[in-house]
Structure formats: C-alpha cells, structure tokens
C-alpha cells in the first residue's frame, strides 16, 4: 500500500521538487495550496494531474484538521511559510502567524488525530543570524536577525517540544540556502541570474543589489529535498543541519553567473543601500557532518553546478 504524504507549500520551490521525489517513490501526494487570483502552480503544472490538491492555509486550523482527517497521511512536510526575509519586517504579525503558529496548528492536529504521523519542520539557517561560531552545526546557539528568523526559531523549539512532550516523530531540518531555477524572482539568486540573462539579451542595462559581501552556503533544492525525505525515514526524530560546508559571497555568485554569459559583473552590478537589511547577516556556513554520517546524504550539485543550472534555465525561459 502506498504511503501518503501531505505537503504544505507544495507550489513553492522545495514543495515542487519534493512532490516529484515522492511521486517517483510511489507516494500518494496531497498538497495544500492557497486560494489566489493569480496562478501560483507554475512549479507543479507538469505533475498537477498526479497530485491531490486541497485549498487551505496555515493560518486556518480547520483546514489543516480537515485535510489530515480526510487523507490520514503517513508523513507531513511543512514547507509553507512567509519565506522572504525582507518582507518579514513589514509584515511581522503575519510572518509569526504563518511561520510559528502554522506548524503548531499541524502539530496540534497530529496530537489530536494520529500521533504516529511523521512530521518534518522546515527550519532555516537564518535562525543562526549573527553567528556566534563558524561553521554552524546542530549545537550552535541561535541569534536571529529578522522577524522571519525569530519566527522560525519559535517554530523550531515548538516542534522539539511536541516531540518530547507527546512522543511525536517531529524532525527539524535546519537547511542552509538552497536555490534553483524555481526560486521566486524576489530572491537575490534569481534576481541575479534573471538580471544577468536580461542584460546579455539587451533587455536590461544594470542590476542593483544590496550587500555584495554577505556570504552564504548555497546548494541546489533538488539535493536538499532528498535530505528532508531521509530525515523521516530515519529510525528516530532528530535535528539535522543541511548544507554544503562552503560559503560564497553574493559578489562571487554574481561573478560566476555573469561569467557564464561571457560578461564581467563589474560592468553591470551596482549597490543600492535600499536593499540592505535593517540587521545584516554576514555569513552562514554549515557543518553538515551529522546529516552526512547518519543519513548518508551527499549533495550532487556544487555551487557552480547550481549557478550554471539557474542560468541555463533562465535562457530557456526566455527562449534563447
């Protein structure tokens, strides 16, 4: 009998890649999507007929209860979130409602209806914020620097609390920056690859960015959703840091993206202080030893492979 998985945020980058992975493994996949006047299913249109999609929202307990009672999932992956860090300062209350209370609502539903359900909470490297040590692992203290980061820390500890209080298989994946061609255009990586290709085609003259010296541990979403799945196949719920173990600056991301197009980023990239965060996060660098040793997870994409893939897909989208 096929396993049943319930994914929140299935229309996003991670949700779509995870849905593909689970379908390949023979799962019945249920996805929760929000009602919207615009099409937010672009990332899953190629597999839409293989999925069961239900309207709902992480701010609505009744929606979550209804889906869990109706489909009785074996696994729940909570990937839905208000995930764009800059907006979290402008919409702090909404950020906490979705990012903190959303997973609490799911955990409450699991507690009420079936404590055998395995739960994955998408934690984030943004919880480390102003890092107290480099690199960061599962024991590194959190120092979040945005409402987004704070909301995720609260959800992270809530997940652990439900795990320890109610014997629920609740796992947290602290994933470092993972990108892909399916990333939203508001995120800096897509902004860079999209802008670089437009400049190459003469559709744009320059690219304005914020802090070029910020360093991140960047990987490909395809690799990271495999880690999510492995966490729920493990024999016990734990917390895992997932990353490459190598950090690159935004400047280096620009350098490689533009060089793929035989361009020099210095001729086109400008710095606009408006894009700086109120509280900067200077470097995020993972120590992924635990996930590699225990779950035998290994990324297939390097940093350069990621940027190459994003540039190639941008060119395809623009029909170059």
CATH value at residue 210? 3.90.25.10
What is the pTM assigned to this prediction?
0.95
Give the integer Cα–Cα distance in Å for 87 and 257: 25
**Average pLDDT over every residue of 103-130:** 97
Which of the four pLDDT bands, split at 50, 70 and 90, describes residue 186?
Answer: confident
Structure tokens, 158: 């809530």
Catalytic residues: 124, 126, 148
| 190 and 155 fall within a common domain | no
Q: Which residue has the higher pLDDT, 169 or 37?
A: 169
With respect to residue 294, please indicate whether it lies within any of the assigned structural domains: no
Mean pLDDT score across all residues of the chain: 94
- The residues, any chain, with a CB within 8 Å of residue 49's CB and separated by 6 or more, are none
Closest CA to 117 of 54, 152, 166: 166
pLDDT at residue 237 is higher than 80: yes
CATH number at residue 95: 3.40.50.720
| 84 and 129 fall within a common domain | yes
How confident is the model at residue 202, as a pLDDT? 95
Number of structural domains the chain divides into: 2
Which of the four pLDDT bands, split at 50, 70 and 90, describes residue 190?
Answer: very high
* Residue where the block lists tokens 């998408």: 122
With respect to residue 293, please indicate whether it lies within any of the assigned structural domains: no
Pick from 38-42, 165-169, 173-177, 296-300: least confident = 38-42
With respect to residue 289, please indicate whether it lies within any of the assigned structural domains: no
Find the angle CA(248)-CA(249)-CA(253) to the nearest 5 degrees: 80
| 149 and 56 fall within a common domain | yes
Give the integer Cα–Cα distance in Å for 284 and 277: 15
| 144 and 174 fall within a common domain | yes
| 225 and 126 fall within a common domain | yes
Q: Are 145 and 127 in contact (CB under 8 A)?
A: no
With respect to residue 125, please indicate whether it lies within any of the assigned structural domains: yes
How confident is the model at residue 36, as a pLDDT? 67
| 91 and 228 fall within a common domain | yes
Closest CA to 81 of 10, 132, 163: 10
Q: Are 320 and 197 in contact (CB under 8 A)?
A: yes
Structure tokens, 296: 């035998």
Which of the four pLDDT bands, split at 50, 70 and 90, describes residue 183?
Answer: very high
pLDDT at residue 216 is higher than 90: yes
With respect to residue 71, please indicate whether it lies within any of the assigned structural domains: yes
With respect to residue 224, please indicate whether it lies within any of the assigned structural domains: yes
pLDDT at residue 133 is higher than 90: yes
Domain that holds residue 76: 4-178+219-242
**Average pLDDT over every residue of 13-35:** 96
How confident is the model at residue 282, as a pLDDT? 86
| 172 and 195 fall within a common domain | no
| 162 and 143 fall within a common domain | yes
pLDDT, tens digit (0-9, with 9 covering 90-100), for 55-111: 999 999 999 999 999 999 999 999 999 877 778 888 999 999 999 999 999 999 999
pLDDT at residue 37 is higher than 70: no
With respect to residue 279, please indicate whether it lies within any of the assigned structural domains: yes
Pick from 86-95, 127-136, 145-154: least confident = 86-95
As a whole-number percent, the residues of the chain with pLDDT over 70 amount to 98
| 266 and 142 fall within a common domain | no
| 260 and 125 fall within a common domain | no
| 82 and 205 fall within a common domain | no
pLDDT, tens digit (0-9, with 9 covering 90-100), for 265-316: 999 999 988 877 676 778 999 999 999 999 999 999 999 999 999 999 999 8
For the four alpha carbons of 86, 91, 97 and 100, in that order, the dihedral sign comes to positive
With respect to residue 167, please indicate whether it lies within any of the assigned structural domains: yes
Give the integer Cα–Cα distance in Å for 264 and 254: 9
| 116 and 192 fall within a common domain | no
pLDDT at residue 319 is higher than 80: no
Which of the four pLDDT bands, split at 50, 70 and 90, describes residue 192?
Answer: very high
- Whole-number Cα distances in Å, 85 to 24, 214, 227, 255, 294: 32, 14, 23, 24, 31
């Amino acid at each position: 009998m096929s396993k049943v998985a319930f994914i929140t945020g299935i229309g996003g980058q991670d949700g779509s890649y995870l849905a593909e992975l689970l379908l390949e493994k023979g799962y019945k996949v249920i996805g929760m999507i929000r009602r919207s006047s615009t099409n937010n299913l672009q990332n899953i249109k190629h597999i839409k007929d293989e999925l069961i999609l239900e309207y709902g929202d992480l701010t609505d307990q009744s929606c979550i209860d209804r889906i869990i009672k109706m489909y009785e999932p074996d696994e729940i992956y909570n990937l839905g979130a208000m995930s764009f860090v800059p907006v979290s300062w402008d919409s702090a209350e909404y950020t906490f409602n979705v990012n903190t209370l959303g997973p609490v609502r799911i955990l409450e539903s699991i507690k009420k209806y079936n404590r055998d359900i395995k739960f994955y909470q998408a934690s984030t490297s943004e919880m480390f914020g102003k890092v107290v040590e480099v690199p960061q692992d599962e024991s590194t203290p959190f120092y979040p620097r945005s409402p987004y980061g704070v909301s995720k820390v609260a959800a992270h500890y809530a997940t652990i609390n439900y795990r320890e209080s109610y014997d629920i298989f609740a796992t947290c994946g602290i994933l470092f920056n993972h990108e892909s061609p399916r990333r939203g255009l508001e995120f800096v990586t897509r902004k860079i690859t999209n802008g670089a290709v437009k400049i190459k085609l003469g559709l744009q003259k320059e690219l304005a960015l914020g802090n070029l010296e910020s360093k991140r541990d960047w990987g490909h979403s395809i690799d990271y959703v495999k880690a999510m799945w492995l966490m729920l196949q493990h024999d016990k719920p734990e917390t895992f840091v997932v990353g490459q173990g190598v950090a690159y600056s935004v400047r280096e991301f620009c350098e490689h993206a533009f060089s793929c197009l035989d361009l020099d980023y210095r001729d086109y990239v400008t710095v606009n202080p408006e894009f700086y965060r109120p509280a900067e996060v200077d470097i995020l660098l993972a120590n992924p030893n635990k996930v590699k040793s225990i779950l035998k997870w290994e990324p297939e994409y390097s940093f350069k492979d990621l940027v190459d893939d994003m540039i190639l897909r941008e060119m395809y989208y623009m029909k170059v």
